[in-house]
Structure 1
Amino acid sequence: MHFHIISIFPNMFDSYLSESILKRAIKDKKIKISFYNPILFLDKKDGKFYNKIDDKPFGGGPGMVLKAEPFLKAIKKAVGQKKHFKIYYLSPRGKVFNTQMAQKIAENSQKKKGKIKDIIFVSGRYEGIDSRVSEIYKGEFVSVGDFVLTGGELPIMIMIDSISRQIEGVLGNKNSLEEQRLSAGKYYTRPEDLKWKKKIYKVPKVLLSGNHKEIEKWREKNK
């Protein structure tokens, strides 16, 4: 799957994508990430960008609005000659993203016919992006929760993480998908007896019993 990210702050993704599972997924070519910075699509004069990326909103009001043209050019570059792609605009007013959406996006990327392997994320900032962008390039507005962030970069990272783990081979072991196994609310590992401030904290005996039926009952009870 190929994720295309439209953002004026692409460097925000560096540390997250260069660690752990996503780093390995990129290395193993399970996923691919491309960035398109709208600032780089501003007009140049004498080698310098002389237009601003944002401006005051028509009709008045606080804050600044990101201009349409550089975002349109960035999206056009990401779309290229692709016939099958999906655009997601990150917005606190959008549909709330969840695991079911992640699974559907991942499944659609692996269909034999009409598969969508190119996902384009558009990250806004400030008061948002000029609405003519989404009028020209139709897409779906999504949110990661009932709260407001300073931009769409963090939500994009969340979505990429959640979608990528649904792609075959990314996690290595399919049983690592918490969504598909009985997940307890409590977990324990070695040592069996943990000493902390003169007190001993023990692992529940049932988890040491080897009785898988009783262990599953315990996990169900402690979900």
Structure 2
Amino acid sequence: MSGEEKPKSHGRLRVSVSAQPRDLMAPQRVKGAWAARIVTLFPEAFPGTLGLSLTGKALDQGLWSLETIDLRPFGIGKHRNVDDTPAGGGAGMVLRADVVAAALDQAAIGTPPDRAAWPVVYLSPRGKPFDQAMARRWAAAEGITLLCGRFEGVDQRVLDHYAIEEVSLGDFVLTGGEIAAQAMIDATVRLLPGVLGNASSTEEESHSHGLLEHPQYTRPAVWEGREIPSVLTSGNHAEVEKWRRTEAERLTRERRPDLWAKRRGP
């Protein structure tokens, strides 16, 4: 590597342990850029896939920033314990309220108290399902703090005290919230101005209008005996749009009757 080249911060394989927010976007950040703060036991999991492709490029350009707050340094005692046995008995361990609170207080430094301007979210399988509308709401905020759970979850008192929003990636259980956090951040960051480059890209894709996206085709014109639908090569833009709309509705009815019912109303 030449003396003029600087390593990309989001390419590092390890993140040093620190109670201070770790900014993974070392280059100059654009003023007012959207920010994500992640409270996690595994800061080395980030940026992960967020450091690749368009989100990684936008991270380099300072269009958004990513910080991690390592939960471990806030742990109790010699061994920095962050969890304890569940009250009332049961399997597993629960993240302590006092430990999580200290990390959240650190993460809140410099952020607005208004939850609309800066949501604070716990990634939980019992939370409200994450969807495109939520991604748009988050993208319209100044930034977000995501709390990644582990073990059997987080002491309910800290969730209540900080009025934390619980959000689920889907009806399944992961070993922790880090993967879910990356997925949700990706869905949000791509909606930020300048990240995709073409704003219309986000207007025609699945869920943008309550419908799944229509099928896509490209060259070659014939592959394995299968041809591109003739309407797409007709040059008739009105007919193309009509076809795409019809296909989007068909796919939504077939694959997501819940979305179709919601769109049709009671």
* Same fold (TM > 0.5): yes
| 3-state SS of 1:145 partner | coil
Partner of 1:190: 219
Q: Which residue identity is paired with 1:176?
A: S
- Does residue 6 of the first structure (1) align with residue 39 of the second (2)? yes
Q: Which residue of 2 aligns with 1:113?
A: none
Render the CA deviation track for 1:68-117: whole Å, top value 9, x for unaligned.
2322221111111433432111111111121111112222x2xxxxxxx1
| Bigger Cα displacement from structure 2, 206-215 vs 172-181 | 172-181
Structure 1 residue 146: Cα displacement? 2.1
RMSD of the TM alignment (CA)?
2.1
Which residue matches 1:121? 146
Q: CA contact under 8 A between 1:88 and 1:142: conserved in structure 2?
A: yes
**Corresponding residue for 1:15?**
48
Q: Secondary structure at the match of 2:119?
A: strand
Distance 1:118 1:216, change over 3 A: closer
Tell whether the 8 Å contact from 2:58 to 2:64 is kept in structure 1 after alignment.
yes
Q: Is the Cα contact below 8 Å between 1:182 and 1:220 reproduced in 2?
A: no
Report the 3-state secondary structure (helix = DSSP H, G, I; strand = E; otherwise coil) of the residue aligned with 1:222: helix
- Residue 181 of structure 1 and its aligned partner are, at CA, apart by 11
2:75 matched to which residue of 1? Answer: 42
Aligned residues: 207
Structure 1 unaligned regions, length at least 5: 110-116
Q: Is 1:163 aligned to 2:163, yes or no?
A: no
- Change over 3 Å in CA distance of 1:171–1:126 after alignment to 2: same
TM-score by length of 2: 0.72
Question: What residue number does 2:258 align with?
Answer: none
Contact 2:125 / 2:169 at 8 angstroms: preserved in 1? yes
* TM-aligned CA deviation for residue 193 of structure 1: 1.6
Question: Closer, same or farther in 2 for the Cα pair 1:150/1:171, shift >3 Å?
Answer: same
Q: Would you say the 8 A contact 1:183–1:219 is kept in 2?
A: no
- Give the structure with the higher percent strand: 1
Q: Which has the higher contact order (CA 8 A, sep 6+)?
A: 1
Contact 2:74 2:82 in 1 (8 A): no
Residue in structure 1 matched with residue 253 of structure 2 by the alignment: none
Residue aligned with 2:163, SS? coil
Name the aligned partner's letter for residue 97 of structure 2.
Answer: A
Give the whole-Å Cα distance in 2 for the aligned partners of 1:125 and 1:182: 34
- What amino acid sits opposite 1:95 in the alignment? K
Q: Residue 201 in 1 paired to residue 226 in 2?
A: yes
Q: Gaps spanning 5+ residues in structure 2: where?
A: 1-33, 249-266
Structure 1, residues 39-69: CA drift from partner, whole Å, max 9, x if none? 1222575xxxx23222211210111111223
Counterpart for residue 238 of structure 2: 213
What secondary structure sits across from 1:133 in the alignment? helix
Equivalent runs, 1:36-115 vs 2, <5 Å: 36-43=69-76, 45=78, 50-84=79-113, 85-107=118-140, 109=141
- In the superposition, the TM-score normalised over structure 1's length comes to 0.85
CA distance in 1, matches of 2:112, 2:62: 22
Q: For the Cα contact (< 8 Å) 1:182–1:219, is it kept in 2?
A: no
